[in-house]
């Protein structure tokens, strides 16, 4: 694993998201209810940046909502929780050290990935 610093905690609203780029990968760094997530910043339905959507609980899951058609994606797994999107997006491991947020994009991790702050 190769974690690289992508931002500071204070750069991301709680709840909210921030678009960052790491190794040519666009990532939404998301804060929600004390956790920090990193999710691919591209809706799997029609290539809209997810970082422009709302961060909220939906059907019991922490999600980010695509603003164009309303699909929400589980921040832990990248799976869509509702139509029209049917394909998952990538999620990445996150580490928080002090105020610094680190993400590893070397591994396309389909397992739950989050860090507490
Ligand atoms: S573009 Fe995201 S749900 Fe359609």
Q: How far is CA 79 from the centre of its chain?
A: 11
Within 10 Å of residue 54's Cβ, how many Cβ atoms?
A: 15
Fold of 4-103: Rieske Iron-sulfur Protein (2.102.10)
Predicted confidence (pLDDT) at residue 106 exceeds the cutoff of 80: yes
Alpha carbon of 97 to ligand 1 centroid (Å): 33
C-alpha dist (Å) from residue 49 to 6, 9, 34, 42 = 17, 20, 23, 5
- Return the pLDDT at 108: 52
Alpha carbon of 80 to ligand 1 centroid (Å): 10
Mean pLDDT in residue range 94-113: 82
**Average pLDDT, integer, range 94-114:** 81
pTM for the full predicted model? 0.91
- Cα of 42 vs centre of ligand 1, distance in Å, is 9
Burial class (CB in 10 A: 0-12, 13-18, 19+), 15: middle
57 three-state secondary structure: strand
25 lines ligand 1 (CB under 6 A): no
Q: What is the pLDDT of residues 37-90, one digit of tens each?
A: 999 999 999 989 999 999 999 999 999 999 999 999 999 999 999 999 999 999
Residue of minimum CA distance from atom 4 in ligand 1: 69
Residue with tokens 């760094």: 29
The per-residue b/e assignment along 87-104, b for 16 or more CB within 10 angstroms, e otherwise, is ebbbbbbbbbeeeebbbb
Question: Does residue 49 have its Cβ closer than 6 Å to ligand 1?
Answer: no
Give the distance (Å) from ligand 1 centre to CA of residue 74.
Answer: 14
Which residue from 46, 47, 4, 59 is spatially nearest to 29, judged by alpha carbons?
A: 4
Could you tell me the residue ranges of all domains in the chain?
A: 4-103
């Amino acid at each position: 694993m190769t974690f690289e610093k992508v931002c500071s905690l204070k750069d991301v609203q709680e709840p909210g998201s921030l678009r960052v780029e790491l190794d040519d990968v666009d990532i939404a760094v998301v804060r929600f209810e004390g956790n920090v997530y990193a999710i691919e910043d591209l809706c799997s339905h029609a290539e809209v940046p997810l970082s422009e959507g709302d961060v909220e609980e939906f059907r019991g899951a922490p999600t980010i909502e695509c603003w164009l058609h309303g699909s929400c994606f589980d921040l832990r797994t990248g799976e869509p929780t509702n139509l029209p999107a049917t394909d998952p997006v990538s999620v990445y491991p996150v580490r928080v050290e002090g105020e610094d947020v680190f993400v590893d994009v070397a591994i396309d991790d389909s397992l739950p990935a989050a860090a507490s702050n």
